């Protein structure tokens, strides 16, 4: 019964591929955790760098020009701002490298930098 053997091998191959795909997805998800730190830029200049591992709250800017940035549980979020569009507040929390919160009226950019293990590479060369 040669056909039976062939079909069984196919089933094993498909199962193996599914398992591999699942493992890859878990791996990609796991490596996307910890974003490292957030870089705060105002008017094109980096004014602050805050680690995502430490919960904190900072008030950025001056009167009539402020954004309240909260770092909690490894995520960064602008919880309050006095800009007219409130886009930065509505954007919600960011936590992965490459994600950012932008407040155009205040020329504020909060971006997640340096994921886990990439700090060394960024400083060499």
Verify binding: residue 103, Zn ion, rule CB under 5 A: yes
Number of chain residues interacting with Zn ion (CB under 5 A): 4
For the segment 33-92, give every residue that binds Zn ion (CB under 5 A): 81, 83, 88
- Select 32 or 107, whichever has its Cβ closest to Zn ion: 107
Look at the alpha carbons of 54, 56, 61, 67 in this order and tell me if their dihedral is positive or negative: positive
Note the residue count of the chain. 125
- Select 32 or 91, whichever has its Cβ closest to Zn ion: 91
Residues ≥6 apart with Cβ < 8 Å to 61: 42, 67, 106, 108
- Select 69 or 81, whichever has its Cβ closest to Zn ion: 81
Interacting residues toward Zn ion by CB under 5 A: 81, 83, 88, 103
């Amino acid at each position: 019964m040669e056909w039976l053997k062939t079909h069984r091998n196919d089933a094993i191959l498909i199962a193996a591929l599914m398992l591999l795909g699942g493992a890859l997805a878990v791996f990609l998800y796991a490596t996307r955790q910890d974003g490292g730190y957030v870089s705060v830029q105002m008017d094109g200049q980096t004014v602050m760098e805050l680690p995502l591992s430490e919960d904190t709250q900072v008030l950025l800017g001056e009167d009539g020009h402020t954004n309240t940035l909260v770092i909690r549980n490894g995520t960064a979020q602008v919880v309050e701002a006095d800009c007219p569009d409130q886009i930065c507040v509505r954007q919600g929390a960011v936590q992965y490298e490459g994600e950012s919160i932008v407040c155009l009226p205040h020329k504020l950019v909060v971006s997640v930098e340096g994921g886990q293990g990439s700090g060394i590479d960024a400083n060499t060369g």
